[in-house]
A = this chain, B = another copy of it.
Amino acid sequence: MEISMSKVVVQSFGMSLDGFAAGPDQSLEAPLGTTGPEIMEWFFPTKTFISQHGGEDGGETGIDNGFAAESMAGKGAWILGRNMFGPIRGPWLDDEWKGWWGEEPPYHVQAFVLTHHPREPLVMKGGTTFHFVTDGIHSALEKARAASGDKDIRIGGGAATVRQYLEARLIDELHIAVRPIILGRGEPLFTGLDLRSLGYKVDKYVPGERAVHVLISRHD
């Protein structure tokens, strides 16, 4: 019998005090929605983020950075929702859009993008290949498991994708970074989901410099 130690995780997932994981009105100019970047303002000053984006030096190395670093390390595969991959809706008109992240995305492993519209895999610099999965969240997870070996699979987002995997009880652990801000409008993370009935409990919380880090897991 083979026992996989691989977990399905959500990490460094920002949420405003009023429950939003992204702002409203996502567009090419506003990948996280108009006010969405405020949710990630705990992440942007970290050494982890700055070094991802070519900054050799600098960046903070405190509690927030510890969580940020952990969330990027040791993943065997990623799963991304269509909107997290790009602002385009409907069929892919051409192969020009290659994600928000430039030539070298921060994933460095196989990344499975949920979409209703087929597209050839996209090989990027630094080890990331985007695979476009058209047959649903279970299929994407199977493919991610096959690709990840015994490493963890991270559901990158966005909110709608995380919600679907939560409802299906397929997520083992979540790290939510609660930002003390009010967004007013946007993409709700938990609204309408009965996480308690789904078996999720808070295990721990750790106040950081710019967010409170809450660790949740499924207790079967």
Per-residue CB contact flags for chain A residues 177-220 toward chain B (1 = under 8 Å, else 0) read: 01011111100101101111110111011010000101010000
Is A123 among interface residues, defined by CB-CB distance under 8 A?
A: no
Asked if residues B181 and A178 are in contact (CB atoms below 8 Å), the reply is: no
Task: Tell me the complex Cα distance, A216–B204, Å.
Answer: 24
Asked if residues A184 and B196 are in contact (CB atoms below 8 Å), the reply is: yes
User: Number of contacting residues on A, CB 8 A?
Assistant: 30
Asked if residues B195 and A18 are in contact (CB atoms below 8 Å), the reply is: yes
Determine how close the nearest CB of chain B comes to the CB of A162; give it in whole angstroms.
Answer: 13
Task: Tell me the complex Cα distance, A17–B190, Å.
Answer: 9
A176 — which chain B residues lie within 8 A by C-beta?
17
A205 — which chain B residues lie within 8 A by C-beta?
180, 212
Asked if residues A185 and B196 are in contact (CB atoms below 8 Å), the reply is: yes
Closest B residue by C-beta to A176: B17
Determine how close the nearest CB of chain B comes to the CB of A9; give it in whole angstroms.
Answer: 17
Closest B residue by C-beta to A200: B182
Task: Tell me the complex Cα distance, A35–B196, Å.
Answer: 11
Could you list some 8 contacts between A and B, CB below 8 A? A17-B178, A18-B190, A19-B190, A35-B196, A180-B212, A181-B201, A182-B195, A184-B195
